[in-house]
Amino acid sequence: MRYNCDLKTSVMNCAPQPNIVNRLVEPVNGTTTRGSGLSPLINTKKEEEEMRRKEQRSMLALAIVIAFVVGVFWAGPVGAGNLEPTGPQGPIMHMLDEIYEVVVDTNSKVNGGSCEGAPVEKTGQTASYVTGDDGDLEKGVAWPNPRFTDNGDGTVTDNLTGLIWLKNANCFGIETWDNALSECNNLASESCGLMDGSVAGDWRLPNVKELQSLIHYGVYHPALPDTAGTGKWIEDDPFSGVVSSYYWSSTTLASTTGNAWYVTMSNGYVGNPSKSNSFYVWPVRGGQ
């Protein structure tokens, strides 16, 4: 039951009014009355919808206020500068501390240039043929200058990779893959111009990545940098006997183990023919 109240007078006069159900259905002689009762029904529905919307807005406003108060309360110690935990550190805090230490340690190593890993060096290509290509971006670890050091004992050190190469890149001529392995493993001082005191077993056939590390992709015939690393190789700068041809690597082709990878010094191309082929041999030592 609802009440219609007159608030204009000094005394509140309220008279009972039929509720929404009574407005909708009023039996008159066994029938339902329509027509005159339709307009009050519509008005009542509009009023209830408006009240429902007001309630929803009120609840939303209350939720926002509660969230704001909780946020201020929670952030209070941080705003005051108190970042220390008030109790003993639990497992979560311990994990956060460890993550922080790792981040700080990694950051200091990267900034200090001593970060351990396998960074990729620049290709040497500086000519750009389209925006976003290698010559445009020049990504990778910069080459040192000088790139190579001639040790004066028949060896050359690559200052980028730390590998030590035989200065003479054509001491053995062309060999099959098996013979290339053997020649490198048996190489020692007093042969191929070596005076470094090395013994058999110190030298080896380089893997395909090591051979590729020599390539200068900004030049060709051969695709090999000079001592400074700023131009193209010429005889004794720093190597001797370099041939713009195929050089064996020690890396076997995984899908066909009778084949192995080579790198051509002409343009850096790599291939994987049968190990029975004969290609040039360039020994290396050192590395990790």
Query: Which region among 52-61, 156-165, 195-204, 249-258 has the lowest average model confidence (pLDDT)?
Result: 52-61
171: exposed, middle or buried (C-beta count within 10 Å: 0-12, 13-18, 19+)? buried
What does each C-alpha distance from 72 to 21, 77, 92, 269 come to in angstroms? 48, 9, 23, 64
Q: Which residues contact 242 (CB under 8 A, 6 or more apart)?
A: 169, 170, 222, 224, 233, 235, 265
pLDDT in tens, 104-136: 454 544 444 445 677 899 999 999 999 999 999
252 within domain boundaries: yes
Indicate whether 216 belongs to any domain. Answer: yes
pLDDT score, position 288: 67
37, 129: one domain: no
**What's the domain count of the chain?**
2
Q: What percent of the chain has pLDDT over 90?
A: 58
Provide the mean pLDDT of the chain: 79
- Chain segment 201-241, per-residue pLDDT in tens: 999 999 999 999 999 999 999 999 999 999 999 999 999 99
- Average pLDDT in the 234-261 region? 98
Q: Are residues 16 and 129 both part of a single domain?
A: no
Provide the token pair at 260: 């192995």
240 CB contacts (<8 Å, ≥6 apart)?
167, 168, 169, 170
Among 56, 75, 94, the domain boundary falls at 75
Does 137 lie in the same domain as 262?
yes
271 and 130 in a common domain: yes
Percentage of the chain lying above the pLDDT 70 cut: 64
6: containing domain: 2-75
Assess whether 218 and 285 both reside in one domain.
Answer: yes
pLDDT at 16 over 60: no
Q: Which residues of 145-156 are buried (b: 16+ CB within 10 A; e: fewer)?
A: ebbbebeeebbb
Query: What is the structure's pLDDT at 51?
Result: 76
CA end-to-end span of the chain, whole Å?
Answer: 92
- Supply the pLDDT for residue 233: 97
User: Does the residue 50 lie in any domain?
Assistant: yes
Residues 6+ apart with CB under 8 A from 21: none
What is the mean predicted confidence (pLDDT) over 244-255? 98
Q: Which of 222, 202, 193 is nearest to 280 (CA)?
A: 222
Which of 14, 48, 75 marks a domain boundary?
75
The backbone torsions φ and ψ at residue 59, rounded to the nearest 5 degrees and listed phi first, read -65, -40
Structural domain contains residue 116: no
Overall residue count recorded for the chain in this entry: 288
Looking at the predicted structure, is the pLDDT value of residue 22 above 80?
no
Dist CA 127 CA 135 (whole Å): 5
49 and 169 together in one domain? no
Q: Could you tell me which residue, 66 or 272, shows the higher pLDDT?
A: 272
- Give the torsion sign (CA, 273, 274, 280, 285): positive
**Do residue 266 and residue 138 come from a single domain?**
yes
- 7 domain-assigned: yes
Q: Which residues pair with 260 in a beta bridge?
A: 252
Write out the DSSP string of 140-181.
SBPPPSSSEEE-SSSEEEETTT--EEESBTTSS-EE-HHHHH
pLDDT value of position 98 = 55
Question: How confident is the model at residue 45, as a pLDDT?
Answer: 64
CB atoms inside a 10 Å sphere around CB 27: 9
Same domain, yes or no: 283 and 174:
yes
Over residues 252-273, mean pLDDT:
98
60 plus 203 within the same structural domain = no
CATH number at residue 141: 3.10.100.10
Residue 48 has a pLDDT of 72
In terms of pLDDT, which residue wins out, 38 or 268?
A: 268
Q: What average pLDDT does the segment 181-197 reach?
A: 98
Arithmetic mean of pLDDT, 84-103? 50
Residue 109 lies in a domain: no
pLDDT of residue 50: 75
Q: Give me 82's structure tokens.
A: 């108190």
Q: Are residues 285 and 152 in the same domain?
A: yes
pLDDT of 149 strictly over 90? yes
The per-residue pLDDT for 83 is: 47
Mean predicted confidence (pLDDT) in 230-256: 98
Question: Within a domain: residue 110?
Answer: no
* 59 and 147 assigned to the same domain: no
* 69 located within any domain: yes
pLDDT tens for 25-78 read 444 444 444 444 444 545 566 677 777 777 777 777 776 767 665 554 454 544
Q: What is the pLDDT of residue 47?
A: 74
Are 51 and 177 in the same domain?
no
Model pLDDT, residue 267: 97
- Read off the pLDDT band of 163 (50, 70, 90): very high
Q: Return the pLDDT at 118.
A: 77
